[in-house]
Homo-oligomer: A and B are copies of this chain.
């Protein structure tokens, strides 16, 4: 009787999950359509990103090649194009100038503050020109920096000219004079051969990873293979240190390994706390080191936009946490004793069996894991204690000008790349223990209910998004939740099978049902996420779009002439530079 209830609960949980997933996908899909059909125009809606631009002859510039190709294929709708340039050097000079400007602003504030009553002249701020301002000649900051800027500006101007003329890359952003034409062009195969003129929807200007745009298709493929091999190795071999942490971080082991801790560890109050939270804290600290590495790998793949790189990172991180936290922590205790068994019988049946045996043992650990995330994680998130401390320290000792204080206060982005996979891990844990240790459900519900309120508050009132992907994160999360559900269903078949319950095969249909559900969702909702439907792109605009503003939005900071109004010369450079000549 108890096993029957157990078995039916698995069905119940699965179907509730399907229902929630379906509703959410539909909801996000509608939100996306609404967001994309607003009467305000966005620059990316008129642009298409073109990669793998071929150079037909050595004396033709890439700009000419792009223009002639697109003007031939879209004679009435092509507006103009912008060739991607290698502006690393120009960017470096530009940042140097900006840095000097900041130094001047800072020095002026310091100078003004130093004018006290006793010393009405004030002290002119100085610094040393050598390494880190510690060695070298001592100079007057304001004078020195102004001179530097005067020297750098012509250099920047020259570099801009060279960049625009000689450093054109094999990629371009092509602008069309209507949203629906751009949407249609981004979905149409242009060239007969696959390795030339590949088109896709243009990312938002602030979302673009410029150096990745010009990588050609072969390089992208090879980089992807290499990156995925590295990720695979990382996921599999991070297991080794984590398993060690899991084995050591019981109090008994700790006392054995580090005998000097005995005094602390043996006090009853401390002992209780440590026993409950030590392994969890170790684990959380451990996981904090990874995202930056995975982000680096994702960008190395040649992905053209930040938002896509964040999704790629989040995906890698999710499979990492499931494999290394969930599986390894579950098997952790039995792992050392049964490593031989695994190595000798490395097949799926044995692994599911072993998982089923050891899963119940992990219940307490994961209950505390969810609780800890819930209490400590949300507390930190809401109070923003650490950013607050950092801000106050910065304001006291580092920030001098208004701008610096503003920069120190800036809350930044939401950090999808770690937040999403961590929430997905909680979802996985809650799903997998929902039937075996139902006590985890209220914690899970509380985690996500409160998480909804808190995240909503933080998104609306605290964080400043650095780009907008119109809900493209959702299909990605959807797939991962389905993966979690499949893991849950497979383990449950194992767990119930272990109890020699003859009706346990009744659970088997759940796995194909999940696959079919995933397929249907993908077919039903995904196309409108992958591409912009014409219906949506066709919506009326509030006003005629200012095509010049759209074009200007895509010019990288360091190549923008507006920032340097004092330089009339640059205006000329703009008009005869091939990359910025008006095309229509």
Interface of A toward B, CB cutoff 8 Å: 29, 33, 72-73, 76, 180, 183-185, 187-195, 197, 523-525, 527-528, 531-536, 538
Contact = CB atoms under 8 A, between A and B. Distances in A.
A531 B538 CA distance: 23
A356 to B, nearest CB: 22
Contacts of A184: 184-185, 188
A72 B538 contact: yes
A29 B194 CA distance: 11
Given A180-B73, A184-B184, A184-B185, A190 B525 contact: no
Given A185-B184, A189-B187, A73 B525 contact: no
Given A73-B538, A192-B536, 8 more contacts: A33-B192, A76-B76, A188-B188, A189-B531, A189-B532, A189-B534, A190-B534, A194-B523
A183 B194 contact: no
Contact of A533 (B187, B192, B534): B192
The residue in A192, A197, A536 that gathers the most chain B C-beta atoms within 10 A of its C-beta is: A192
Given A73-B538, A538-B72, A533 B191 contact: yes
Q: Quick one: copies of this chain in the complex?
A: 2
Nearest to A76: B76
Nearest to A538: B73
Contacts of A189: 187, 527-528, 531-534
B72 A528 contact: no
A524 B194 contact: yes
B73 A194 contact: no
A535 B73 contact: yes
The 6 closest A-B pairs by CB, nearest first: A184-B188, A189-B533, A189-B531, A187-B188, A33-B192, A190-B534
A534 B73 contact: yes
Contact of A535 (B76, B192, B194, B533): B192
A501 to B, nearest CB: 25
Nearest to A524: B194
14 contacts: A73-B538, A187-B189, A188-B531, A188-B534, A189-B532, A189-B534, A190-B534, A191-B533, A192-B533, A192-B535, A192-B536, A193-B528, A194-B523, A195-B524
Given A73-B180, A534-B73, A538-B72, A527 B188 contact: no
Nearest to A26: B193
A527 B194 contact: yes
B188 A183 contact: yes
A95 B150 CA distance: 90
A190 B534 CA distance: 5
A187 B197 CA distance: 16
Contacts of A191: 533, 535
A528 B531 CA distance: 19
Nearest to A199: B534
Contacts of A532: 189
Nearest to A29: B192
Given A184-B184, A185-B184, A190 B73 contact: no
A4 B536 CA distance: 63
Contacts of A531: 188-189
Contacts of A73: 180, 534-535, 538
Contacts of A524: 193-195
A473 to B, nearest CB: 19
A194 B535 CA distance: 12
A525 B185 contact: no
Contacts of A527: 189, 194
B528 A194 contact: yes
B72 A192 contact: no
A268 B436 CA distance: 76
Contacts of A195: 524
A197 B538 CA distance: 15
Contacts of A534: 73, 188-190
A300 to B, nearest CB: 21
A358 B536 CA distance: 60
Given A180-B73, A195-B524, A535 B188 contact: no
Contacts of A188: 183-184, 187-188, 531, 534
Given A73-B534, A535-B73, A187 B190 contact: no
Contacts of A29: 192
Nearest to A181: B184
A523 B73 CA distance: 23
Contacts of A194: 523-525, 527-528
Contacts of A528: 189, 192-194
A99 B183 CA distance: 51
A77 to B, nearest CB: 10
Contacts of A535: 73, 190-192, 197
A536 B190 CA distance: 8
Contacts of A536: 192
A197 B184 CA distance: 15
A189 B531 CA distance: 7
Nearest to A532: B189
